[in-house]
Each structure stands twice: as structure tokens, then as C-alpha cells.
Amino acid sequence: MQGRRLATTDEIIAIVSPDSEGALETLTDWTAKHDIGLSSVDVGDDVGRVYNENRATLGVTLGGDGTFLEGVKTFAPRNIPQLGVNTGTLAFLARVEPEDLEDALEEVLCGRAAVDSRQQVHVTAPGVDATGINDVMIQQVPPENPIDRKVARLDVYADNEYIGEFEGTGLAVSTPTGSTGISLSANGPVHYPVNNHTLQIVPLHTHNLGVRPIVVSPETELRIITRGQASLLVDGGRAHTILSEDDEMTITGAAKRAHVVRTSYDDHFFTAITKKLGWNLREAAVPPEKKLETTSSPKPTAADSETDTVKHALTVATEAARAAGEPLRELHGQVESVDVKSNKSDIVTEADHQADRIITTAVGNEFPDHAIFSEESTRQTGEDADYLWVIDPLDGTGNFAHGNPNYSISVALIEDDEPVMGVVYVPETDELFTAIAGEGAWRDGDPIRTTDRERLDESMLISGYDPDGIFLSHFYQESRGVRRLGSAALNLCYLASGSADAIWEHDTHPWDIAAGLIIARAAGATITDESGAPFEFTLETDERRALLGSNGSLHPALLEHLEDGLTTPAK
């Protein structure tokens, strides 16, 4: 989950532990001030009665790590991001202090917080079907007679491959988040938990010096068979059962991951383990780079400021587009399973609305003096702004409505009536196209250029809207084919990256082409109208504006054939 998505939060659900009244009062005042809904429940109570899946919800836990774990149990299955506030004593997971709560929430609402994806572990066994964020422990059951045998014997398989028999106190199967608990005490490795999706098997008090911890992927199916009675605990006892001899359990990574919100007011991971676990690779809890904040730097010039604005805009646009892609992917999955046309229309409308709200909120937070022009919303500031954002939150609506993956998000920054920065994001393939005028174009961070083909009969062409079939009829036999994808922004990006040698659009809208235009030009494309005159970007939509784009070498031949097509009616 992207942190920019949190800027659209309109509801907070708080899980409150005893002795957290002060933090709850602070949260109540803050939500009232920002016109955000607030529901609070005690630890252990069901949030189903207050949760509305149609509202952008943030989960907050007020308590220690126990309350945080209850929050994960509650929020993760609902895909709700969670912020932990420490009102306890030794908290390792809940790392925002009550005095920083308001500032941390302001950061969240501005979309500047980060969201960690945390792997969870899932176990099924006789009497248990549970998920945890820390670990699953299988241990011996203490005998009634203290002099009887006190070891557990466990046969362990990974994807049906026999690992071996573990003999000792037992095993811990932990996530990276849980690597600093029981696993660390048993000499297991410490895993950096941020976006780390693995599981580790750690023997507890093994009776064999050669037995070492094992790291596996979350897709690995671990089967463990008991060779005697054993105790199974999830997250320290939040789920628990006693297993009999020859009972079998299955442990894998959970399908749902926990989304943990991190702000600059949290202790970072290595700071937290320095404070709480005696990590002695550094003497202080404050990282060394913090001591360099007083270093002076040259005063930026006007040119530097302009460059910084565009580069910062690229960062914000990238984050906003990726964040907007999340609900689009979620809703795209729903539209594929809906047969009723009216319901599909509702989903597409909701997809447009959610994506537009995320992007415009992110841009508005970072650049309050900029104008915004979106297909889904009106211009939001005065016309005298130095910069204008042109946004299409869902280009390729028809494709989206039919479950086709060829749709995209288009975000552009305009200065002096010309696009200077563009981002096109393709949610279903996770492709990201970006460009800054004069600096180049990139796909997923790698530079891209147009092709250098000169012959039509060796070229692949893309057609956009072509109502009379002119482009198709006059170029299909002359080339290696004409394709139609249904997204003008994608057409321009594929021209830029060399996936096509030329594109044609009979009619264009500014929000469809603003970002793709700068990306294609920055990659070396030639863009003209149907007569060969340079294409001029404009926000006017009251007249037809044709667009012909190519790698440059093909342009004369394209214009010749296109002119013939425009003067000769299609058969």
C-alpha cells in the first residue's frame, strides 16, 4: 500500500487499551478538527459494527504491543493500514509516543507517511486455523512427573521434501516481524521486517549442534508432524491448542499481509532494537546523519528552484499514480466477475472517483498554489498559477469496464502551456513511464528511446480513435500490422519505448495525452498533426485535434499515406 493513499482517509477506528484515556482524548479532538470520523472500541471487541468498507479507513491502536497485535488481527483481514501509538511500557511494534500523535497524524493526512507490508504466518492444525504476525511455536508439553522425558520430536517437510527430525524443546516458525522475539532468543537471525516476505524455521533448544535456522519463501508449505504430545501457540497464545501424537499441522505465509503505517515520529527499526534489545553496533539511538543537520548549503537560485519543483513534482506524481493504481486493481478484479451492466458502471465510476481523489489530494497537499485540471474534476485554483497539473485517473475506461488490462493513469505538469513532466502508470503490469523535458524518458527507471526503423513494411503501428477506419485501411497492408489498445496515454508510451514505430489519434483530449506527449517527445518521437505541423498542446476541447506520432524516420511516409487516406474515402 502506498502512503499517498492515506491522504484520503475519512474514518479512523481506534482500538483502545486500558489507561489510554489521554491519547484517546487527543485523537478525538484531532479528528473533530479535521472533520474525520472516529469510532473507538476496547481491546477484544468486534469492530464489525463500526467498520464501513466504503470509507477510506485508518486503524489506530492505543496501547502497547499486545494492543498492536490485536490491531493486526482486526485490521489486516480488512486491508486497513494501522498506526500504533505506545501508551504502554516496553513497546517494540507501537512506536509513536502519545505526545507525537497529532504530528504523526498530520503527516499521515498529508500523504507523507510510509506503509510497510508485513508478512504474516498462517497455521492449520487440529483445533486451530489462525493467522499471526509474529510466530507459530510448537513446544513440548511439560510432563506431570518432572523426571519424565521433556523433549519434543517433530518431523518437518518443506513442499513435501523431508527436512528432517527436530528434537529439543520445539520449533518456532516466525515472520521477519517476529524474528526479534523467541527466534532471536534461540539464536535465530534478525530480519529487517520492512517489505520482507519470508518465514524462518528456528529450532528451540535443539539437541544437535549442527541444526541451524532455515529461511523459506511465504509460498512454501511447511508440514510438521508431532511424534508425541505438543503445545501449539500463535503470537504468544492468541491462538492455542494441545496436539496429540501424529497430529499434522500446515504452516505457510498468510495470503493477507499487514499494512503498518510508519511516520518520521516513529523510532526506526534499528533505533528501536538499539534502545530495547541492546544492539551495540552503535553507541547512540540517534543515527549519525542526524548530527549533520546544521551543515549549511548554498542558497538555491531561481533556476535551481524551478528544477527542484519539476523533480519534486515527478516524485509526487509517481507516488500518487502508484497509490491510485491500488484501488483500480482492486476494483478491476471486481468488474471482471460482475455480469450486470449497471453494476459494472457503478464500479467504473467508483474507480474513477477513488483514483482521482488520491491524485488530486496528493498534488493539492504538496503544491497548494498549483492549478489542477482533471477529466473527473474541475480546475481547482485560479488561472494565474505558474503550474498546471493535467490528470486522467483512468485512461482506457472501456477496457477497464470489460476486464481488459490495457488501462493507465496519466499525470502531467504543465508550464507555459507545455508539458514539462509526465507520468503514466499501468496498474495491471506495474509499468511506470516517466519523463522530464530536456532530461529524457524512462520505463521503470531505465532510459527509453524510439526505434530507428525507416521502412513502413518493417514497422508496427498503433491506432487510437479512428472512426472511419482511414488509418487502418491505408496502413494495414503497408506495415507489419496496426494494433488498437484503447488508451492514448499507453499508445504514446509504447511509441516512446520502441514497442511501436508510429501511432495515430483521429481526435485527442488534453488529459489523455498530456503525460504521454512529454514522454514520447523526451524519448525522441516526432509529434505532428495530420498535416505535418508540430502538434500544439492545448486545454481546449471544442474542436477535433488529430495526432500523428512516429520515430521520426517514418514520418514522411506516414504523412504521404495519411494524406492519401484523408482525400480518398475508405471503402
Return the CATH number at 525: 3.40.190.80
**Three-state secondary structure call for residue 435:** strand
pLDDT in tens, 223-263: 999 999 999 999 988 899 999 999 999 999 999 999 999 99
> Domain span at residue 398?
311-436
What cell was used for 240? 492455542
Distance, CA of 571 to CA of 350 (rounded, Å): 41
Residue 28: predicted pLDDT: 97
Question: Are 500 and 560 within one domain?
Answer: yes
Whether residue 20 has pLDDT greater than 60? yes
Among 241-250, 304-313, 529-538, which is the least confidently predicted range? Answer: 304-313
Query: pTM for the whole thing?
Result: 0.84
pLDDT in tens, 144-194: 777 666 788 999 999 999 999 999 999 999 999 999 888 888 888 999 999
Kindly give the pairing relationship between strand 57-63 and strand 11-16: parallel
Cα 383 to chain center, whole Å? Answer: 33
Among 81-95, 134-148, 286-300, 494-508, which is the least confidently predicted range? Answer: 286-300
**Three-state secondary structure call for residue 214:** strand
Q: For residue 109, give the nearest of 10, 31, 7 by alpha carbon.
A: 7
* Residue 292 domain-assigned (yes or no): no
- The residues, any chain, with a CB within 8 Å of residue 147's CB and separated by 6 or more, are none
Distance, CA of 48 to CA of 55 (rounded, Å): 13
* Residue 298 domain-assigned (yes or no): no
Question: Are 205 and 278 within one domain?
Answer: no
Question: Are 108 and 66 within one domain?
Answer: yes
Q: Is 501 annotated as a binding residue?
A: no
Distance, CA of 475 to CA of 571 (rounded, Å): 14
Q: Report the CATH number that the domain containing residue 70 is assigned in CATH.
A: 3.40.50.10330
Q: Which residues are catalytic?
A: 65
Q: Is 29 annotated as a binding residue?
A: no
User: In terms of pLDDT, which residue wins out, 209 or 449?
Assistant: 449
Residue type, 132: G
Burial, 550: exposed, middle or buried (Cβ in 10 Å; 0-12, 13-18, 19+)? buried
* Residue 88 domain-assigned (yes or no): yes
pLDDT in tens, 71-126: 999 999 999 999 999 998 767 788 899 999 999 999 999 999 999 999 999 999 99
* Residue 505 domain-assigned (yes or no): yes
Among 129-143, 281-295, 327-341, which is the least confidently predicted range? Answer: 281-295
Distance, CA of 360 to CA of 62 (rounded, Å): 31
* Residue 441 domain-assigned (yes or no): no
Residue 571: predicted pLDDT: 47
Question: Are 278 and 316 within one domain?
Answer: no
Q: Report the CATH number that the domain containing residue 129 is assigned in CATH.
A: 2.60.200.30
DSSP 190: P
Q: Is 44 annotated as a binding residue?
A: no
Among 68-72, 270-274, 347-351, 374-378, which is the least confidently predicted range? Answer: 374-378
Distance, CA of 141 to CA of 231 (rounded, Å): 6
Q: How many structural domains compose the chain?
A: 4
Distance, CA of 313 to CA of 333 (rounded, Å): 30
Burial, 215: exposed, middle or buried (Cβ in 10 Å; 0-12, 13-18, 19+)? middle
Question: Are 391 and 416 within one domain?
Answer: yes
Residue 390, number of CB atoms within 10 A of its CB: 26
Burial, 157: exposed, middle or buried (Cβ in 10 Å; 0-12, 13-18, 19+)? middle
CA-angle at 217, arms to 258 and 165, nearest 5°:
115
* Residue 302 domain-assigned (yes or no): no
Q: For residue 431, give the nearest of 481, 484, 485 by alpha carbon.
A: 485
**Three-state secondary structure call for residue 461:** strand
Q: Is 517 annotated as a binding residue?
A: no
Distance, CA of 210 to CA of 150 (rounded, Å): 21
Whether residue 339 has pLDDT greater than 60? no
Q: Is 512 annotated as a binding residue?
A: yes
Residue 567: predicted pLDDT: 61
